[in-house]
Amino acid sequence: MTDAALVKRARAGSDAAFAQLVDRHGQAVRTFMRRVCVNADEADDLAQDAFLSAWMSLRRLKEPDRFLSWLMGIAWRKAKTRARSAARTRARETAWQDGHPGSTSGNAELALALNQALGQLSPDQRAAVALCLGGGWTHPEAATALDMPLGTLKSHVSRGRARLAEILGEDDE
């Protein structure tokens, strides 16, 4: 069943249809949140908030077949709001660097360096990198989801890629 069909059923009051949307897109939203937030627990909390907001405002979704993009936009706005309050305490940033899931896998030193590199990017850059480099989204798709001009998004991705390539000791593409 397509997203649009599930949205239609969820709008009519079907929790089962909404649960299917959660199953289908939960991983993408949670992964995105994990890449832009301070830690996995907070990321999951934000992902739940995003789904709940989406459920509340399902009738405002104009293009049901673009549910994921719309949902990512909601999640991103929630993450930005949370980040603004988190920015008041530097301890949060330390927690992000310590608690990011990538820090415990594979090459720990490299992962830590990449964590730190991502942590140094602005929230907008981090989100752009997370979607385009981490999630494989196209630039126009990501620009729509993040509500950014396409040029700005490309710039964020380019800078993010350069920073990460620098950490990895590679030439930027």
Partner 1 sequence: MSDPLKAYFDAGQAPAEDTAFRLALMERVAKRRFQIELGLEIVFFAALALCLALLWPALNATLLSVGGSMTGIAAMVTVLGAIALAGQWAATHRLRLPLPRWMG
Provide the binding-site residues for partner 1, judged by CB under 8 A.
10-13, 15, 18-19, 22-23, 26-27, 30-31, 34-35, 43-44, 47-48, 51-52, 55-60, 100-102, 105-107, 110-111, 114, 133-134, 164-165, 168, 170
Q: What is the rounded distance in angstroms from the CA atom of residue 73 to the CA atom of residue 71?
A: 5
Given a contact cutoff of 8 angstroms between Cβ atoms, the answer to whether 101 and 34 are in contact is yes
Tokens 């301070």 belong to residue: 38
- Choice between 52 and 89, CB closer to partner 1: 52
CB of 5 vs partner 1, minimal distance in Å: 16
Tokens 């830590």 belong to residue: 112
CB of 87 vs partner 1, minimal distance in Å: 21
CB of 88 vs partner 1, minimal distance in Å: 25
What residues contact 139, with CB distance under 8 A and at least 6 apart? 132, 150, 153, 154, 157
CB of 93 vs partner 1, minimal distance in Å: 17
- Choice between 66 and 100, CB closer to partner 1: 100
- Choice between 13 and 88, CB closer to partner 1: 13
What residues contact 106, with CB distance under 8 A and at least 6 apart? none
Tokens 């360096």 belong to residue: 113
- Choice between 59 and 88, CB closer to partner 1: 59
